[in-house]
Structure 1
Amino acid sequence: MKLLSEQRSEQEISREKDANILKPNMGMHERLQYIGREFVDICHYIILFLISIVVVWTAGKEFFIIFQKGSADLKDILLLFIYLELLAMIGIYFKTHRLPVQFLIFIAITALSRHLVVDVQAVSDNFHLWLLATISFAIMVLSASIVILTWTAKMFGRPEDYLDDHQVPSTEHHLPSVDSK
């Protein structure tokens, strides 16, 4: 398992890919795989840039509304935290080329907390207790999933730690050996 500091830089990987694609002995299948990987990477970047623009634009609109009101409510602040977490998740993808599932869970917890604090007050009294219990249970399950994901990543590593530049790992490398500790 490679540590982040041991991984090759993106420029080195890119230069190696470019050198490999120009080799005359490279088959058609390998060239098509290369083109497919590059196409998927370009699509990822375009979509992430568009999502980033939409998130920044929406957060800007929210700031404008807050400035017009002259004060920020708790629901406004929690909504801005959701935007911040979305941008952080996108930033992490650009730095590490990994989309952390934990950030999506953090966003879901923040959204449920916002709903619990802000919107549940407007619900009728008959439905109020069940809604509170359901949202609280969902937050608890999501929190437990973060603990489980973090624990399993520390114990067994992440699946992408065993991938070496889009290569499919063999089954013998999925779990670290007991002797390596």
Structure 2
Amino acid sequence: MDKMYRKYGITSIKAIEHLVLIIIAIATVVAIGQEIKHIFDVGAVTLADLLLLFIYLEVLAMVSHYAESGKLPIRMPLYIAIVALARYLILDMKAMDDWRIIAISLSTLTLAATVIVIRWGQLKLPYPRPKEDDL
């Protein structure tokens, strides 16, 4: 009986997980559409618009990768954070004091260094492959 509850519990959680992934994907596509409409309404494309579209693209790629593999590489949210910080810096640099600019720049560098360390770890220290018995 306990096995049956576990099976239905896991199945329910997976169904909710897929539903939320679909909601995230739809919301991201809607946001892309709103940004494209904004670009046409203004009649100009700015660097901030392109960076925002890139963030949306990364979110869709992350959702797609997670839906396909069931795993979320930690680098993808880091890439999104790097682009978001760069966009914030570009948009609000004139209104920021020097310390805030330095803090955001150091945060961006820290995230970039983290991506490099994670990537190095994946290449040099990969996880062992599961054995057939473990599956």
* Common topology (TM > 0.5): yes
The answer to whether the 8 A contact 1:120-1:132 is kept is yes
Match of 2:94 in 1: 121
Taking a change above 3 Å as real, the CA distance of residues 35 and 149 of structure 1, as seen in their structure-2 partners, is same
Match of 1:147 in 2: 116
Name the CA distance, whole Å, in 2 between partners of 1:162 and 1:154.
Answer: 17
Could you tell me which amino acid in structure 2 is paired with residue 91 of structure 1?
S
Q: Which of the residues 22, 25, 36 maps onto 2:9?
A: 36
Match of 2:49 in 1: 76
Name the CA distance, whole Å, in 1 between partners of 2:98 and 2:42.
Answer: 32
Match of 1:65 in 2: 38
Could you tell me which amino acid in structure 2 is paired with residue 136 of structure 1?
S
Where relative contact order (Cα < 8 A, 6+ residues apart) is larger, the structure is 2
User: Could you tell me how far 1:156 is from its partner in structure 2?
Assistant: 2.9
Structure 2 residue 26 is the aligned partner of structure 1 residue 53: yes
- 5+ residue gaps, structure 2, are none
Match of 2:85 in 1: 112
Taking a change above 3 Å as real, the CA distance of residues 113 and 36 of structure 1, as seen in their structure-2 partners, is same
Taking a change above 3 Å as real, the CA distance of residues 145 and 162 of structure 1, as seen in their structure-2 partners, is farther
Q: Which stretches of structure 1, 4 residues or more, deviate above 6 A after TM superposition?
A: none
Structure number with higher helix proportion: 2
Name the CA distance, whole Å, in 2 between partners of 1:155 and 1:33.
Answer: 37
The answer to whether the 8 A contact 1:55-1:86 is kept is yes
Q: Which of the residues 93, 99, 103 maps onto 1:134?
A: 103
TM-score (norm 1): 0.68
- 5+ residue gaps, structure 1, are 1-27, 168-181
The answer to whether the 8 A contact 1:120-1:131 is kept is no
Name the CA distance, whole Å, in 1 between partners of 2:127 and 2:31.
Answer: 33
TM-score (norm 2): 0.90
The answer to whether the 8 A contact 1:85-1:107 is kept is yes
Match of 1:176 in 2: none
The answer to whether the 8 A contact 1:86-1:107 is kept is yes
Q: Which has the higher Rg, Structure 1 or Structure 2? A: 1
Match of 1:95 in 2: 68
Partner secondary structure for residue 141 of structure 1: helix
